[in-house]
């Protein structure tokens, strides 16, 4: 009886084993504006919602499973919203590819090829090369494409033709979109992003526009008066910073925060106050939009490379007068333009060295910091003309945060002149290194020997890391051969690749750290010898130089009322250790 049971059970097991099983990932994409017909919007397009696309794919998988020759299990659904089909830099698509590499997915199902991608070369590369190499079946439901046992040469050719058409559609759309937006600009419609500070945008239409909808700017009752205040104050004070300080004292939110919160004034619930700066004020007083004029089309982007903007020549701009209600009178804008021109001329004169008094080297550039907020101090260099017409350049340093209204971390003004700083540092340096000023030879000999030994040790570790990296790569080549020969499965090979990548990263990081240490030794050696040279110059009583400062000092902190804190680059402990070994 047992033998009969065995004979009837065996064929059933064999039948189960012949059924092919797939782990499917459904991919859906909702087009960005670059992927829609600009003249039709969404009407009449085949750009179904991601929910509809997913349902179409699910229904097709159910039909395939009912046939009984295979079993497709849906593992996950991947949906990209508002993403162009012209490239594959999409978050959910990249997650799908990661799951494929891990072996979690071996079948990709899409509603049609256009949802997968509109770039002919890249789409073809995935379907014809990448997916077959990874052992992935690809199904495009509406196009009848199935690279599994249902695939055929005829369908492959149809896929290539459709793929090419999609690519041509994407390129053709770019041209149509540009023409459409230019036409809208010429009609006086605002086609930019968020409206400028002081305005809101509304959709209007009528016979004067041929019953077309026009996006129009309308003064914002909450902020239009603030824009007028900005212009008035700028003309009176002649300073971007003075206007920014006034707005910050009143705790008025800058444009970016107003757009985000809708609140004109700072609310403590926002957290930290992020105020106005000179740049945000300058953008407002330079914008002709506030006079009722639209200047659009200055830049453009491409669907293939959305991050880079192309700046157009001025003759390509679209300029329309009287497109919306002005916030600023033309006379007020012209007066503000005169102030801007005066500021520009003044800045140009500051940019060039005064004749006979060139700007000298900033010897404290890399070491001087504000002791209150920690910000690097800024040099202020100017020329003083004496009564006898003799000119002299004077340098001073100040903290840019000191006394500002945008930030409150450094409320007090913090300044010191170069002459005052040098007068403080020279006796301090002489006192700090007085014990060591006569022992430079001992420093040089002993430190050179110690650095050579450390260099040899690092070189040996770098060579070992290089041997380990070479061994890992050789092992990887062997595993790849095993995978291609079928000795290991795709899942095993994918897991191995992930482990190998981790090992290679660790080894490469070790090597980089060792090489960085080796470079650091060279830097330390150079700095130490420079310190010895600086000590000799200090002993001879020469003036302070940039090399001397950077060799002996790590940081200088300046506090209000000319108080100074110095951190030395070579401490007493290091110098004492060298002397003890000598």
Identify the CATH number of the domain in which residue 221 sits: 3.90.1750.20
Dihedral of CA 459/461/467/472: which sign? negative
25: phi then psi, degrees, rounded to nearest 5: -120, 125
Q: Interhelix angle for 330-351 vs 278-286, to 10°?
A: 130
Render the burial of 275-289: b for 16+ CB within 10 Å, e for the rest: bbbeebbbebbebbb
410: phi then psi, degrees, rounded to nearest 5: -140, 75
395 and 542 belong to one structural domain? yes
15 and 95 belong to one structural domain? yes
Could you tell me the pLDDT band of residue 344, with boundaries at 50, 70 and 90? confident
Among the candidates 290, 310, 345, a domain finishes at: 345
Domain count, the chain: 3
Kindly report, residue by residue over 419-464, the tens digit of the pLDDT: 899 888 888 877 776 655 555 555 566 566 666 777 788 888 888 8
Average pLDDT on 256-267 reads 88
* Contact (Cβ atoms closer than 8 angstroms) between residue 79 and residue 52: no
**Percent of the chain whose pLDDT exceeds 90:** 16
Kindly report, residue by residue over 474-483, the tens digit of the pLDDT: 888 888 888 8
Tokens of 18: 């012949």
DSSP sequence for 191-238 = -SSSPPTTEEEEEE--GGGTT--EEEEEE-TTTHHHHHHHHHHHHHH-
378: phi then psi, degrees, rounded to nearest 5: -100, 140
Residue 271 pLDDT greater than 90, yes or no = no
Residue 302, in any domain of the structure: yes
- What is the spatial distance between Cα 347 and Cα 329, in angstroms, rounded to a whole number? 27
532 and 404 belong to one structural domain? yes
Instruction: Quote the pLDDT of residue 33.
Output: 47
- What is the spatial distance between Cα 150 and Cα 22, in angstroms, rounded to a whole number? 14
Residue 550, in any domain of the structure: yes
Among the candidates 321, 345, 369, a domain finishes at: 345
49 and 135 belong to one structural domain? yes
335 and 376 belong to one structural domain? no
Kindly report, residue by residue over 514-532, the tens digit of the pLDDT: 888 777 767 666 666 666 6
Expressed as residue numbers, the domain containing 447 is 360-461+511-582
Residue 281, in any domain of the structure: yes
- What is the spatial distance between Cα 195 and Cα 406, in angstroms, rounded to a whole number? 24
Longest dimension (CA), the chain: 127
Residue 491, in any domain of the structure: no
Tokens of 252: 């008025």
Residue 364 pLDDT greater than 80, yes or no = yes
Instruction: Quote the pLDDT of residue 25.
Output: 96
- C-alpha 136: how far from its chain's center? 34
Instruction: Quote the pLDDT of residue 110.
Output: 94
334 and 388 belong to one structural domain? no
Among the candidates 122, 143, 178, a domain finishes at: 178
Kindly report, residue by residue over 160-180, the tens digit of the pLDDT: 555 555 555 555 555 555 565
335 and 396 belong to one structural domain? no
Identify the CATH number of the domain in which residue 22 sits: 3.40.50.1390
9 and 123 belong to one structural domain? yes
H-run or E-run covering 460: helix 440-485
Instruction: Quote the pLDDT of residue 369.
Output: 93
Tokens of 404: 């500002």
Residue 378, in any domain of the structure: yes
303 and 440 belong to one structural domain? no
Residue 377 DSSP code: P
Single pTM value for the model: 0.41
Kindly report, residue by residue over 214-246, the tens digit of the pLDDT: 778 889 999 999 999 999 999 998 888 889 888
- What is the spatial distance between Cα 482 and Cα 499, in angstroms, rounded to a whole number? 16
Residue 505, in any domain of the structure: no
Per the prediction, the chain carries an average pLDDT of 76
Residue 351, in any domain of the structure: no
252 and 305 belong to one structural domain? yes
Residue 194, in any domain of the structure: no
Instruction: Quote the pLDDT of residue 580.
Output: 41
Alpha helix ranges (H) inside 19-152: 50-66, 91-101, 113-116, 120-125, 131-134
* Contact (Cβ atoms closer than 8 angstroms) between residue 532 and residue 443: yes
| Adjacent-strand bridge partners of 564 | 558
341 and 403 belong to one structural domain? no
Dihedral of CA 541/545/550/551: which sign? negative
424 and 556 belong to one structural domain? yes
């Amino acid at each position: 009886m047992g033998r009969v049971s065995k004979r009837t059970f065996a064929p059933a097991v064999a039948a189960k084993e012949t059924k092919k099983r797939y782990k499917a990932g459904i991919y859906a994409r909702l087009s960005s504006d670059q992927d829609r017909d600009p003249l039709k919007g969404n009407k009449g397009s085949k750009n179904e919602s991601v929910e509809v696309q997913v349902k179409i794919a699910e229904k097709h998988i159910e039909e395939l499973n009912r046939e009984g020759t295979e079993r497709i299990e849906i593992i996950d659904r991947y949906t990209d919203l508002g993403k162009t089909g012209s490239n594959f830099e999409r978050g959910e698509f990249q997650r799908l590819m990661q799951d494929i590499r891990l072996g979690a997915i071996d079948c990709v199902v899409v509603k049609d090829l256009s949802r997968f991608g509109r770039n002919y070369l890249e789409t073809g590369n995935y379907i014809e090369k990448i997916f077959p190499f990874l052992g992935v079946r690809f199904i495009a439901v509406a196009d009848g494409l199935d690279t599994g046992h249902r695939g055929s040469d005829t369908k492959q050719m149809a896929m290539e033709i459709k793929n090419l058409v999609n690519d041509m559609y994407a390129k053709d759309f770019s041209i149509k979109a540009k023409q459409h937006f230019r036409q809208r600009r010429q009609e006086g419609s605002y086609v930019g992003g968020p409206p400028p500070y002081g305005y809101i945008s509304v959709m209007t239409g009528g016979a004067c526009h041929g019953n077309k909808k026009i996006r129009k700017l309308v003064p914002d009752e909450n902020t239009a008066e603030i824009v007028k205040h900005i212009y008035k104050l700028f003309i009176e004070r002649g300073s971007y910073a003075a206007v920014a300080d006034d707005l910050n004292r009143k705790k008025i939110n800058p444009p970016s925060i107003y757009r985000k919160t809708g609140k004109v004034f700072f609310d403590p619930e926002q957290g930290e106050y992020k105020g106005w700066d000179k740049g945000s004020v300058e953008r407002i007083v330079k914008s002709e939009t506030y006079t009722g004029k639209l200047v659009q089309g200055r830049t453009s982007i491409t669907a293939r490379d959305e991050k880079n903007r192309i700046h157009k020549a001025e003759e390509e701009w679209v300029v329309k007068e009287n497109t919306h209600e002005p916030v600023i009178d033309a006379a007020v804008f012209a007066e503000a333009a005169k102030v801007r021109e005066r500021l520009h001329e003044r800045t140009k004169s500051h940019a060039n060295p005064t004749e006979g008094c060139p700007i000298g080297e900033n010897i404290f550039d890399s070491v001087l910091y504000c002791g209150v907020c920690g910000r690097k101090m800024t040099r202020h260099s100017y020329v003083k003309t004496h009564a006898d017409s003799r000119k002299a350049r004077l340098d001073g340093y100040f903290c840019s945060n000191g006394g500002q209204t945008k930030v409150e971390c450094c409320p007090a003004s913090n300044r010191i002149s170069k002459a005052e700083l040098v007068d403080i540092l020279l006796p301090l340096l002489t006192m700090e290194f007085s014990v060591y000023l006569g022992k430079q030879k001992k420093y040089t000999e002993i430190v050179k020997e110690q650095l050579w030994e450390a260099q040899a040790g690092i070189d040996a570790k770098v060579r070992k890391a290089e041997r380990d990296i070479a061994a890992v790569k050789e092992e990887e080549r062997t595993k790849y051969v095993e995978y291609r020969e079928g000795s290991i499965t795709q899942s095993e090979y994918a897991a191995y690749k992930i482990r190998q990548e981790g090992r290679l990263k660790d080894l490469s990081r070790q090597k980089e750290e060792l090489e960085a240490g080796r470079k650091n030794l060279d830097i330390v050696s150079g700095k130490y010898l420079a310190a010895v040279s600086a000590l000799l110059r200090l002993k001879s009583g020469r003036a302070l130089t940039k090399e001397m400062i950077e060799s002996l000092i790590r940081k200088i902190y300046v506090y209000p009322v000319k108080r100074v804190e110095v951190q030395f680059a070579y401490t007493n402990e290091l110098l004492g250790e060298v002397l003890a070994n000598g």
